[in-house]
Copies of this chain bind each other. A is one copy, B any other.
Amino acid sequence: MTQPLPKYDVFQAIADPTRRQLLQLLTDQEMPVTVISGHFPMSRTAVSKHLRVLAEAGLVKERKVGRETRYRLDPEPLRELKRWLAYYERYWENKLSMLKHYVESDESDETTS
């Protein structure tokens, strides 16, 4: 009940460039925190925080193995992004519709004044 109400959504999660790099890095490999942070010019703790943000957004899954925590990509939440994007896709698919809208709103005013 009362879902933990994730603090971060996909949109926020991918807004940060470091987090996007993290996703890319974890695409093909499940990796422990220390190894992951080795790829970034910031402290392990900082990377760890980014990972938690990604985890809250559901973009990575963690798994405890001995004393280490391994992370791997879970692209599932990107579906939402895909759907969001699909809505606008038709607008660049044919620039015609764009132009149409532009002209229409333009006229609707010029003719009224």
Binding site for B on A (CB under 8 A): 11-12, 14-15, 17, 20, 23-24, 27-31, 65, 70, 72-76, 78-79, 81-82, 84-85, 87-89, 91-92, 98, 101-102, 105-106, 109
Give the Cβ gap from A80 to chain B, nearest Cβ, in Å.
11
Return chain B residues, CB-CB under 8 Å to A98. 73-75
Query: In the complex, which residues of chain B have a beta carbon less than 8 angstroms from the beta carbon of A78?
Result: 85, 88-89, 92
| Docked CA distance A77–B29 (Å) | 30
With contact pairs A11-B15, A105-B29, A106-B30 given, residues A82 and B75 touching in the complex (Cβ less than 8 Å)? no
Chain B positions within 8 Å of A15 at CB level:
11-12, 14-15
